[in-house]
A and B are shown apart, each in its own frame.
Chain A
């Protein structure tokens, strides 16, 4: 690593109205290096990458060098021409177009304005082969899985002859198997001489893949670790700025509960979920694990009535829930935290207070449906205090960080005082500080007797929090683990089908 870095960002600062998002940050990445960029949400990773991609301009004084030459990245087009490509968390593909059309979007081969479809398909196939991806060039992107779309994005970067490839949280929506394949591809690209910048919250991935790690905190560079020095405790300490004593608190008593708060018998939908049954006890955290696509979210939505159940029954405290009526579920004491914060959860243009109160304004209202603003203010203020939300009640929800938005949605779920809480990927894409907060809340809710169903792709989370784990595969609950049986290895082998499930 003594050679000159391919990409060098020096003394980069960025000031937004009133706040300093980045202060004098350096980043150096060599060709053939996979460089992890870590930090809590709001630490400045995204801002730094937006500057690299030409979406934002840095404050004067900093410098970006590519292969030793200073470059001025004034817009995204310039970045692309320089060979800098960012694969975003929200993928930027047109779902209505084919794989080949997406790959060439904006740089179509044409002759006299007529597309040279055949040639584009041929080149597309070459790139896909190089990635070892088995996709038809004419397949519509809308039909592809998230993992496949990501590969299309990477293929697009290869086609653009990129030299620097930035991946922003690429594994968030991927299953373990898809993740492994992505890693193989990244290693391949690295040995091909690409400079890779890898943004992730997942310590295990970084430890596995990264050659070096740059850690940011509050817009400042707090450390650059070499391969040999990469150590998850050290990284967490740098990111948080304090020791994280125990990520998964357990203050509640673990005792065998015989009472049942939620009983599910043979529920099914039209597509994926087949005859699932389960029982939940008060004060229990029940994990549901499985690969992406196993049907966990679909099952959760069926229990809540967000999608229509075509078979089976759900009893909450003995009361049957109607097959498709979230309102009735809320009234019965069920709450559901969606996995898709932006699309299905947040009212981005509304205030923090409105977001917290939306499910209870009718119950709180004075005669004639008049808003009870005093009660709403109490609720939003106690939420902000209890969940350590860094925002004013009047702030627009869309301006909060991911972690604060997630806490906000959790607070909304808690307002009606649920007896059963279904949490679907409650810590997806949020920083470690907010995660710890959410784990603390889960534990204290369970301690008060709330039954919790926890769906998560992060196995340490499931293992750390759940009293009992159900493993889901291909739309069915195939196994139950409890006590000392709950290990990451056991879950993975059951979820992938490596182990024959124990029928129960």
Chain B
């Protein structure tokens, strides 16, 4: 019985993934802010709301990235697609108001489908294809605004970036950004765990040859995951534009793909595909956001922020490997 118990504990610990790291990190930052600044500012409601907003765009990108990485692929172009989608949504919003939202999502979908077509139909390696579109789509984003910032002070959908959905009117609300991010996670969970498509995604990542022989429509599924990543980047673009009332093709979304990949990997998704969960990705993205926020609160310079962030990402994954040794290898 004792053996079974310890096995059970291990399984629970494994299923929690990086959650203990997130909680520990939050606790440490709370203590650090109390020590360095005299008050525990991290757990204040207002700060947590800021963290949620800061995390939300990365959560959305990471959700799309999870689909792609689960098939054993990679999408390096999400930051550029985000910028292009933000430009489209701003340009559309100037004349057509809220239709800018659809414009941004549609732009993301088209770019994602373009990536997916090259990968699924022409069978080019995902790394190469999305490395190319990382650059090319960035160029398109700059081209669209004539290489300048497009602003719209009367943005019809600015509430998405700055408003809240009141839960108890006037007292507690949930920021629209966070609500969108959470919805994306829930939908992703549903697709991955409750639909045929989700099972196919895991199958392709786990064993592509076996998937094909078992009658899984591999190309269509690959096309789908890159389209999902594009739509998520499109939504991220709309969210960024709404928050800033503006979009700039050159700066917006620079190196966002790295944070998204980091969140997915921190969340325990295998880089070779087939293993991972969307909850892990959510926790991974929150770890990155909490860390950035905490370092700012404690007053660490941005140079050191970068160094610490990088080390924490590697350290957290190393810890996870150490802990789950003997379990399924990822």
Q: Which chain A residues have a beta carbon within 8 Å of chain B's beta carbons? A: 17-18, 304, 306, 326-327, 330-331, 336, 338, 343-350, 354, 357-359, 361-362, 365, 368-371, 396, 398, 412
Shortest CB-to-CB span from B210 to chain A, Å, is 5
A358–B195 CA distance with the chains assembled, in angstroms = 12
Q: 9 more A-B contacts (CB under 8 A) besides A17-B3, A358-B214? A: A17-B7, A18-B4, A306-B213, A347-B202, A349-B328, A357-B199, A361-B200, A371-B194, A371-B199
Q: Is the CB of B328 within 8 A of A327?
A: no
Q: Is the CB of B199 within 8 A of A358?
A: yes
| The residue from A18, A326, A347 contacting B274, defined by CB atoms under 8 A apart | A347
**Residues from chain B with Cβ under 8 Å of A344 in the complex:** 207, 209-210, 213
| The residue from B197, B211, B215, B328 contacting A369, defined by CB atoms under 8 A apart | B197
Closest 5 CB pairs of A and B: A347-B206, A330-B215, A327-B215, A369-B196, A359-B214
Q: Is the CB of B213 within 8 A of A338?
A: yes
B216 within 8 A of A: yes
**Residues from chain B with Cβ under 8 Å of A396 in the complex:** 328
Q: Is the CB of A369 within 8 A of B195?
A: yes
Q: Is the CB of A359 within 8 A of B3?
A: no
CB contact list, B193-245 vs A, under 8 A: 194-200, 202-203, 206-207, 209-217
B275 within 8 A of A: yes
A-B residue pairs in contact (CB < 8 Å), sample of 19: A17-B6, A17-B7, A18-B3, A327-B217, A345-B210, A346-B207, A346-B210, A347-B210, A349-B274, A349-B275, A350-B203, A350-B274, A354-B199, A357-B199, A361-B199, A365-B196, A368-B195, A371-B196, A396-B328
With contacts A18-B7, A365-B196, A371-B196 taken as known, whether A336 is within 8 angstroms of B213 at the C-beta atoms is yes
**Residues from chain A with Cβ under 8 Å of B212 in the complex:** 306, 326
Shortest CB-to-CB span from B308 to chain A, Å, is 33
Shortest CB-to-CB span from A305 to chain B, Å, is 10
With contacts A17-B7, A365-B196, A396-B328 taken as known, whether A358 is within 8 angstroms of B206 at the C-beta atoms is no
A187–B199 CA distance with the chains assembled, in angstroms = 51
CB contact list, B1-17 vs A, under 8 A: 3-4, 6-7
A357–B206 CA distance with the chains assembled, in angstroms = 15
Q: Is the CB of A361 within 8 A of B210?
A: no
A18–B211 CA distance with the chains assembled, in angstroms = 33
Q: Is the CB of B213 within 8 A of A370?
A: no
**Residues from chain A with Cβ under 8 Å of B206 in the complex:** 347-350
CB contact list, B169-215 vs A, under 8 A: 194-200, 202-203, 206-207, 209-215
A121–B229 CA distance with the chains assembled, in angstroms = 52
**Residues from chain B with Cβ under 8 Å of A327 in the complex:** 215, 217
Shortest CB-to-CB span from B258 to chain A, Å, is 26
Q: Which residue of chain B has the shortest Cβ distance to A338 in the bound complex?
A: B213
Q: Which residue of chain A has the shortest Cβ distance to B198 in the bound complex?
A: A371
**Residues from chain B with Cβ under 8 Å of A398 in the complex:** 328
Shortest CB-to-CB span from B64 to chain A, Å, is 19
| The residue from B203, B213, B217 contacting A354, defined by CB atoms under 8 A apart | B203
Of the listed residues B202, B206, B213, the one surrounded by the most CB atoms of chain A closer than 10 A to its CB is B213
A63–B195 CA distance with the chains assembled, in angstroms = 54
A2–B117 CA distance with the chains assembled, in angstroms = 71
A327–B7 CA distance with the chains assembled, in angstroms = 40
Q: Is the CB of B207 within 8 A of A347?
A: yes
| The residue from A18, A343, A368 contacting B209, defined by CB atoms under 8 A apart | A343
| The residue from B6, B203, B215, B217 contacting A347, defined by CB atoms under 8 A apart | B203
A347–B273 CA distance with the chains assembled, in angstroms = 12
A350–B213 CA distance with the chains assembled, in angstroms = 16
A81–B129 CA distance with the chains assembled, in angstroms = 48
**Residues from chain A with Cβ under 8 Å of B215 in the complex:** 326-327, 330-331, 358-359
**Residues from chain A with Cβ under 8 Å of B196 in the complex:** 361-362, 365, 369-371
A345–B212 CA distance with the chains assembled, in angstroms = 10
**Residues from chain B with Cβ under 8 Å of A331 in the complex:** 215
Q: Which residue of chain B has the shortest Cβ distance to A15 in the bound complex?
A: B3
A343–B216 CA distance with the chains assembled, in angstroms = 16
**Residues from chain B with Cβ under 8 Å of A370 in the complex:** 194-196
**Residues from chain A with Cβ under 8 Å of B211 in the complex:** 347, 358
**Residues from chain A with Cβ under 8 Å of B3 in the complex:** 17-18
Q: Is the CB of A358 within 8 A of B216?
A: yes
A76–B167 CA distance with the chains assembled, in angstroms = 62
**Residues from chain A with Cβ under 8 Å of B202 in the complex:** 347, 349-350, 354
A218–B97 CA distance with the chains assembled, in angstroms = 73
Shortest CB-to-CB span from A368 to chain B, Å, is 8
A306–B210 CA distance with the chains assembled, in angstroms = 10
With contacts A327-B217, A359-B214 taken as known, whether A371 is within 8 angstroms of B209 at the C-beta atoms is no
Q: Which residue of chain A has the shortest Cβ distance to B270 in the bound complex?
A: A349
A489–B164 CA distance with the chains assembled, in angstroms = 82
**Residues from chain A with Cβ under 8 Å of B203 in the complex:** 347, 350, 354, 358
**Residues from chain A with Cβ under 8 Å of B217 in the complex:** 327
Shortest CB-to-CB span from A321 to chain B, Å, is 13
Q: Which residue of chain B has the shortest Cβ distance to A354 in the bound complex?
A: B199
**Residues from chain B with Cβ under 8 Å of A349 in the complex:** 202, 206, 274-275, 328
A47–B41 CA distance with the chains assembled, in angstroms = 56
A149–B3 CA distance with the chains assembled, in angstroms = 42
**Residues from chain B with Cβ under 8 Å of A336 in the complex:** 213
Shortest CB-to-CB span from A461 to chain B, Å, is 23
Q: Is the CB of B213 within 8 A of A345?
A: yes
A359–B4 CA distance with the chains assembled, in angstroms = 34
Q: Which residue of chain A has the shortest Cβ distance to B191 in the bound complex?
A: A369
